[in-house]
Structure 1
């Protein structure tokens, strides 16, 4: 939509805000429209209806709403039929402080109907005229209804707002152009987060590789690596369990098939590693096939090969009762598969910088260690039974949970507790041993068990201290930002209490600090930029000020060096509602560009302008040498983001880049120049003068006063 906001308390009702829709519709920029009369007399032409103008002016004088079709002219003198709706906006004291004027282009509806085209039948031409006429009437009626509803909503929103003209102006703008203001009041993201939308985009050329070589960062290789990680986790769990509990024989076909599939996948991974690029010592991508093969053969090839040999297939064909060395050898070689865990170290190293990922890995490692220790604990118990030691933890568990039995070498296999019960008991014991000193219901009784428990205790103390010490650090890092925020807020509260800061000023300070923290997350932009070298710092500054450089034509002819010099001089200012950027009478030592939010310009307690996204305010100090004073105050209506540059810094850049200085001075248009004081009269003063003039009409002239009249005595 297209709309204007005008001050209803100043003579000629000057425009204080103009949205982008009106500028696109008429061709006038916001700076050209500001402070002109909202009657749009600057758009009158020869065929503008004088009666329509008088009706609009009369409605403004009596503060009434009006809807009027009027012919105006664009900046290029093109005629433009507009449907204008005038709506007064009142504050809670029922005083009209603003006028909202909305415009809808109805030029197409006011064009005369086309004549009958030659060659067409009379009936077809008549139907065409009727169709166009019906469409015009329907469209005209829908336009009327939409404008009436929109203006009524805007008026009610303005009436519900506070007494200040600024608040009413902001409410009117929001009600009339909700979609535009939504973009205007958008909040900025984190100032220096290391995301792709903040850092400059440096695109490198993809390395050219032979057809049979796979890039190590390709999508297929990434997916394949995750599959290998999952299968490695399966191996880390099942290999110790199978070795300890001897669960896989020829009868366990499902386990044999699953492990065979895992072995095949790991063998395929070995083949792929011979055809996958890697990063060299100098950071370059190595794609030479011969270099890749030599590097893999010298590295992880032997370990990967030993971990994927099918030991279970060989061992499954050996009878369980066999005591030969071959069976024992294959059972021991199953543990070699745990070398696959080395793949985890290679793949997850890149995720260790993230606190959540490190926490999950530590918990997983802690549980995995307890699982391995449980398998070892059960193996020690079974080994004692084979040595005819009948007072270990397994016989005690069986006697406590089952009917007491006589344990002999020939019959102990039949009275062993179920493997699920034995495993859960072992896991319970090892977890209690790692996290505490145990509870005594499962304990070590034999010499072998006690020796193993001593090792478990020493290892558990070290692992417990390492893991949970890191967990504490991770949680401290997660809440470090919140702790810094509360520390800063407590310092500010103590400062205001010590110095007896007034309550209203203290609330403004707290509001500003809270809003600034929400935008910057407590990150000091200057400190982060100082970490970078000069060239990188300039690139970041150009990116942070890209909205200013892209939106304003004054910077289009600037060279890269000029933009970098300007960007280094810009600083970002975040303001909260009611914050004053300029006070009346202050020195105009900086030029401000509005990136987001809305501000009001106040002179003599009257709102003379409302500024928004894309506006520029300050002083043309590159044309006027002496340092000027601000003739008005600038106050934030909403949370705003301003990009400002100091007077001296800008003049230094303009003096050095003389060619750019001419383009800058010619193309930069201030939306509001704070140096120039506006001359206006308030409507209340004009009405008071009229009332006094009316009273003087009924007063007798001085010559008719009696000799004893106080005025005649005073003159005489």
Structure 2
């Protein structure tokens, strides 16, 4: 089942985590780059730090995280040197120091330096936290007395009484010294308590600067996973099953008379009903362990958040729909009509289906099926209500008025009229079957409901067995309603009336006669008008969308034919236009790539363009280009098409682009002489690209088969090369060797093209130190072809054959053999 996947790409959430962790009193921090030695420049500073110091963020960036700009006259040089040493050694450091704000006012600062590591356990950042503790420092200074440097004990100036023994004072000091400096330790612990509450062992560890791994329990289900998709389809089928069976059971389920006179359902729940209840209960459990997409687009994996989200959204609806009413039968509890009516609350599951309809909007066939199923389901509900109204009219009215309702009319036409039977005859008061039949016959009404029928006992028994479909005690009168049409006939007739009323105004063969039936018919017609507009309006739009591409093709074909007819184009030109249009459409299916990608970011468009044009960009000509240069080139590459016999370029035309043959074959002609044959992977154009001058072509290029081409305009190419001057020089040098044929007028290849090709291949072999694996198959074919009639390339071919090696994929010439080695078969590349 298609769902919104949410933002599932791995993210580096370090900054968000730090900002959340240090929110409030500890939000004054900066991040320094640990990879820049001795400087450690600030790469991020929090808003709290800017408010504390008075500096703007722009003033702080790239300054040292040592915060020299906060030093003043009372700043301790010893502490600052310790800070620098801690940064150099990449270790944690905590201290108290006097710093100065931008305004010049000083404050006591509780400073913490914490190294931040990446996934490779390398320190990449320093988190330097600052907290203003001036008030606490002033309070401690007012309460604390002077302390002894050795013992840390408070020293009070006292008057020495006469006969005071100083040795006793020293011994007491030694005793306190041996006691472990209790007071000093308590004081130290109190000073570090603030640090431990944030960065100590009791706090969460500082996050690493890396791509965060998804913290997901193995018991958490992904809402877009394959299992959840299959489960959703199963729940969807179960929901439709409930939507069909619950109204039918409420309105059509037969009721029998128990011996105590209480009506009860005759049929126990089916296995499918029990399975559906179990599925709904299991679905509730799974929803507590299924991820969801938050309002910000993030996928939530936390179990507690998932539970809170489900409890506050769909839990109540799912619980009501999953109440196990059918389990009452397992305990032999009497089930009356009211219990069946309570089952209709299961239809609330359809609200979950409405919630997921937007997930299917891109799948036309699925939406079309769901809409038609919804319309059929509505007709089913209307049919059930229509039968329920007709049945109620018969059960609540006087037998003299039975002939008014639609259900009596149906019974009369089918020859199965309703009749009343004494309840005592059904409860076995008479031991004789004939007596029961006689009792039934005594209340048997004819088709008009006004005259009793006197039939024989055997005939009455036959009619009793053939026509009874439901038994119900009538108005507490001791009489039971029997007979009437079968359930099958009643349902089919009700469904016929519902569909005819929803889609039109009906045909009159099943009509509303009583007030209740007329009111329901009015409501049905109003609902039908609304559903007709909503459902069939959407169905029309979906069908049009399904065939939109085909419709666009026919529209453009018609426009093309109209254009040809209006302008009276010749037959040959008409055929070329139609072939070009049809072939181009088969390649891109009428999709304009540039129009489709124009709203995407430049970075994404460049990546897509590189993928689409990777075959051209993988040429040796672009091997030395940087990735940025390749991305710029990919954005200016266009596609073209040539039919057999069409000229891509004519001699003397201005050359506008460099062309790359993706498929098909072409030939280069001059004075009806074939100068070159181009195949897949060949490049044609000019080597003069640095100057803004018109380049005349020296030959014609004609398609031999259907050809797909990619080309780079010279204007765009010059602009890209101006942006990357380092690569421009390499490009000018390399293109002279990589062009299969140079079309620039006045090029030396005009005189002897075959020799030029051979010379180019020889240079390539020399450049690769005799390795001919770099020779293209097309170049080998050219050498073989032109060696037959060109004497100028004979020397080059001999030179190439001498450099061939045995393992070359294109080699057919043997390497030098020794006297003891067998000579391989002789062959010549050219």
**TM-score of the aligned structures, taking structure 2 as reference length:** 0.54
Q: Write out per-residue CA displacement over residues 529-567 of structure 1, whole angstroms, 9 at most, x where no aligned residue.
A: 3222333322222222112112x0222222221111111
Change (3 A) 1:282 1:540: same
The answer to whether residue 638 in structure 2 is matched with residue 571 in structure 1 is yes
* Structural RMSD (CA): 2.7
- 3-state DSSP of counterpart to 2:346: helix
User: Are residues 1:447 and 2:454 paired?
Assistant: no
Name the residue aligned to 2:607.
Answer: 539
Contact 2:249–2:340 under 8 Å retained in 1: no
Q: Deviations over 1:454-487 (max 9, x none)?
A: 1001101111122222222222223333333333
Q: Report Cα offsets for 1:247-281 as digits up to 9, x if no partner.
A: 5977534x433212211111111111111111111
1:491/1:217 CA distance change after superposition, 3 Å = closer
Contact preservation (8 Å) 1:315, 1:330: no
Question: Which residue matches 2:302?
Answer: 288
Match of 1:90 in 2: none
- When residues 337 and 403 of structure 1 are mapped into structure 2, their CA distance, relative to the original with a 3 A threshold, is closer
**How many Å apart are 1:318 and its aligned residue?**
7.8
The residue aligned with 2:448 is none
Q: Could you tell me which residue of structure 1 aligns to residue 126 of structure 2?
A: none
Number of aligned positions between the proteins: 473
Q: Hey, what's the Cα distance between the residues in 1 that align with 2:357 and 2:493?
A: 32
Take 1:354 and 1:331, find their aligned partners in 2: how far apart are those partners?
37
CA 1:259–1:453 in structure 2 vs 1: closer, same or farther (change >3 Å)? same
Instruction: Report the counterpart of residue 397 of structure 1 in structure 2.
Output: 410
User: Distance in 1 between the 2:212 and 2:538 partners?
Assistant: 40
Taking a change above 3 Å as real, the CA distance of residues 296 and 403 of structure 1, as seen in their structure-2 partners, is: closer
Q: Take 1:527 and 1:596, find their aligned partners in 2: how far apart are those partners?
A: 25
Cα gap change, 1:590 to 1:271, in 2 (>3 Å): same
Task: Tell which structure's C-alpha radius of gyration is larger.
Answer: 2
1:375 aligns with 2:442: no
Residues 1:285 and 1:660: Cα distance change in structure 2 (over 3 Å): same
Measured in 1, the distance between the counterparts of 2:597 and 2:300 equals 34
Residue number in structure 1 paired with 2:743: 674
Label 1:497 to 1:382 Cα distance change in 2 as closer, same or farther (>3 A): closer
SS at match of 1:572: strand
- Alpha-carbon distance in structure 2 between the residues aligned to 1:664 and 1:205: 42
Aligned runs of 1:277-426 on 2, under 5 Å?
Answer: 277-314=291-328, 327-388=336-397, 389-390=401-402, 391-406=404-419, 409=474, 413-426=481-494
The equivalent residue for 1:214 is 221
Partner of 1:469: 537
Match of 1:242 in 2: 249
TM-score by length of 1: 0.62
SS in 2 for 1:557: coil
Secondary structure at the aligned position of 1:413 is classed as: strand
Counterpart Cα distance in 1 of 2:564 and 2:665: 29
Q: In 2 relative to 1, CA 611–357 (structure 1 residues): closer, same or farther, beyond 3 Å?
A: same
DSSP 3-state at the match of 2:694: coil
Q: Which stretch of the first structure deviates more once superposed, 403-412 or 359-368?
A: 403-412
Is the aligned partner of 1:620 residue 2:687? yes
Q: Does 1:523 align with 2:537?
A: no
Contact 1:314/1:330, CA 8 A, preserved across alignment: no
Confirm or deny: 8 A CA contact 1:240 1:372 kept in the other structure: yes
Q: Shift of the alpha carbon at 1:332? A: 1.9
In the TM superposition, what whole-angstrom CA distance separates every residue of 1:25-61 from its partner, at most 9, and x where no partner exists? Answer: xxxxxxxxxxxxxxxxxxxxxxxxxxxxxxxxxxxxx
Structure 2: unaligned runs, 5 residues or longer: 1-210, 256-263, 421-442, 444-473, 754-788, 790-830
Query: Following TM superposition, by how much is the alpha carbon of 1:606 offset from its aligned partner in structure 2, in angstroms?
Result: 2.7
Distance in 2, matches of 1:647 and 1:476, equals: 43
- Which protein, 1 or 2, shows the higher relative CO under an 8 Å CA cutoff with sep ≥ 6? 1
Shift of 1:286: 0.8
Q: CA deviation at 1:369?
A: 0.5
Aligned partner of 1:128 in structure 2 is none
Match among 605, 613, 629 for residue 672 of structure 2: 605
Structural mapping, 1:227-238, within 5 Å: 227-238=234-245
Q: Deviations over 1:212-253 (max 9, x none)?
A: 222212222222111111111111111111111125977534
> C-alpha displacement at 1:353, in angstroms?
2.2
Distance 1:317 1:433 in 2: 43
Which of 258, 270, 282 aligns to 1:256? It is 270
Q: Is the 8 A contact 2:418 2:484 kept in 1?
A: no
* C-alpha distance in 1 between matches for 2:655 and 2:323: 80
Q: Secondary structure at the match of 2:569?
A: coil
Determine the C-alpha separation between the residues in 1 that align with 2:306 and 2:678. Answer: 62
Contact 1:318 1:327 in 2 (8 A): no
> Matched residues in 2 for 1:245 and 1:308: separation?
22
Q: Give distance in 2, aligned partners of 1:514 and 1:295.
A: 53
**Kindly tell me: are residues 247 and 515 of structure 1, through their superposed partners in 2, closer, same or farther at Cα, counting changes over 3 Å?**
farther
Q: d(CA) in 2 for partners of 1:309 and 1:338?
A: 12
Tell me the CA shift for residue 291 of structure 1.
1.0
| 2:286 pairs with 1:272 | yes
CA 1:586–1:206 in structure 2 vs 1: closer, same or farther (change >3 Å)? farther
Deviation digits for residues 410-462 of structure 1 (CA, Å, limit 9, x no counterpart): 66632022111111111111111111111211111111111111100110111
Q: Is 1:315–1:331's contact at 8 Å kept on the other side of the alignment?
A: no
Query: What secondary structure does 1:414 align onto?
Result: strand
Q: In the superposition, relative to structure 1, how do residues 205 and 566 fare at CA in structure 2: closer, same or farther (>3 Å)? A: farther
Change (3 A) 1:605 1:438: same
Distance 1:374 1:511, change over 3 A: same
Aligned in 2, Cα 1:427/1:574: closer, same or farther, shift over 3 Å? same
Change in 2 beyond 3 A, CA 1:604/1:624: farther
CA contact (8 A) 2:416 2:484 kept: no
* Residue of structure 1 equivalent to 2:728: 661
Contact 1:587-1:630 at 8 Å conserved across structures:
yes
Uncovered stretches (5+) of structure 1, i.e. residues with no partner: 1-203, 321-325, 682-686, 688-716
Structure 2: how far apart are the matches of 1:438 and 1:316?
Answer: 44
Deviates more, 1:214-223 or 1:624-633: 624-633
Q: CA separation in 2, counterparts of 1:212 and 1:529?
A: 40
Q: Distance in 1 between matches of 2:571 and 2:338?
A: 82
C-alpha distance in 2, partners of 1:393/1:213?
55
